[in-house]
């Protein structure tokens, strides 16, 4: 049981390049989330998917798109990377049943030059 996995762990992009961050969970959770973490700002929600087939914007969605590919996978895409998107990105998942707890992946450290 791997929990929440994210790939890649590190990535360097040039301004204008695109990339997709991958996230998968094996806990059969319904809800999945993408956050970014910046110094002094805590974690801010980019997008979330309350259940398979639905996605919604969070606090800072501009410059990002998401795809809930199936129940396990939730990807985050940067179409045209900007230096302001340099950050650490975390994926999380949550079950609808029982304890309302989000479980986090190890993060992807992205640098945009």
Residues that bind another protein (CB under 8 A): 4, 31, 33, 35, 40-45, 48, 50, 56, 58, 90, 92, 94, 96, 99-107
Q: Nearest approach, Cβ of 89 to another protein (angstroms)?
A: 11
Residue 84 and residue 24 in contact, taking contact as beta carbons nearer than 8 Å: no
- Complex with another protein: residue 17 or 30, whichever CB lies closer: 30
Q: Nearest approach, Cβ of 87 to another protein (angstroms)?
A: 14
23-53: burial string, b at 16+ Cβ within 10 Å, e else: bbbeeebebbbbbbeeeeeebebbbbbeeee
Q: Nearest approach, Cβ of 64 to another protein (angstroms)?
A: 16
Backbone angles phi, psi at 98, to 5 degrees: 70, -140
């Amino acid at each position: 049981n791997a929990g929440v996995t994210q790939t890649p762990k590190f990535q360097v992009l040039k301004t204008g390049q695109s990339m997709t961050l991958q996230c998968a969970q094996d806990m059969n959770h319904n809800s999945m989330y993408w956050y970014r973490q910046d110094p002094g700002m805590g974690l801010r929600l980019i997008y979330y998917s309350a259940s398979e087939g639905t996605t919604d914007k969070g606090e800072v969605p501009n410059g990002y798109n998401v795809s809930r590919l199936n129940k396990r996978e939730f990807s985050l895409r940067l179409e045209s990377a900007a230096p302001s998107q340099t950050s650490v990105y975390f994926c999380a998942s949550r079950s609808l049943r029982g304890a309302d707890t989000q479980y986090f992946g190890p993060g992807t450290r992205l640098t945009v030059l």
